[in-house]
Amino acid sequence: MKMSDDKTIERLLFLIKTRGPQTAVALGELVGTTSVAVRQHMEKLAQLGLVISEDRRESVGRPKKYWQLTDKGNQRFPDRHADLTIEMISSVIETFGEAGLDKLIAKREQRSLDIYQSKLDQKSALGAKVKTLAKIREAEGYMAEVEPVEGGFLLHENHCPICIAATTCQGFCKSELKLFQTVLGENADVQRESHIVSGARRCTYRIVEKAP
């Protein structure tokens, strides 16, 4: 396979990861190639077990084929040190009990809070804070993006680099939700609407400004 093909394939996988199921036509427009070329790439990826297709009938006419990642395809965007993480969590519980794990999570939360607060201007508007938070999370590997919506913002995280740890101990997810609430300030209301650990394609947080 040519180097240019490798780059195109990685781009296609990234787009499906961050945007969800896509048609070959839509992917072709995004990467600047033909839908025929995309279908050829998708067929190869399907043979490798990285993607699967689903026919969807949207209106009158033939169903459209949507491509999405398989579990194997999602593994191309790896969890950070997954096996070591599970082993360490198990060891902490065995040695210090659940209370010890809670202290570890709290320590991680405080360290993240210190970092986030040093980068956020608490005097800025909520939208600016959310955008800064997204940049921080993006740098940490969460593939974060902000979507303005009526009444506030949606913070999407298309990847969870600590997914194995979060699946093993949901205290990590509770801690991150609390972290967001704290760092965005008491005037912000943060609610998680979708959750990778619960089977969703991505984690989404709805962030709105509380009424005075």
Could you tell me if 86 and 159 lie in one domain? yes
Q: Structural domain of residue 140, as residue ranges?
A: 82-209
Enter the pTM of the model: 0.72
Q: Is 189 in the same domain as 89? A: yes
Name the domain boundary from 74, 108, 133: 74
Number of domains, the chain: 2
- What is the domain-level CATH number for residue 114? 3.30.1380
Q: Which residue has the tokens 């949606």?
A: 154
| pLDDT tens-digit series, residues 46-104 | 999 999 999 988 777 788 899 999 888 887 876 655 565 677 788 888 888 888 888 98
Strand order in the sheet with 188-194: 144-149, 152-157, 203-209, 188-194
Rounded Cα distance between 197 and 187, Å, is 28
Per-residue model confidence as pLDDT tens digits over 107-127: 989 999 999 999 998 889 999
Residue 43 and residue 98 in one domain: no
Q: What is the pLDDT of residues 125-162, one digit of tens each?
A: 999 999 999 999 999 889 999 999 999 999 999 988 87
Does residue 65 sit in the same domain as residue 11? yes
CA dihedral 146, 147, 148, 151 (to 10 degrees): -100
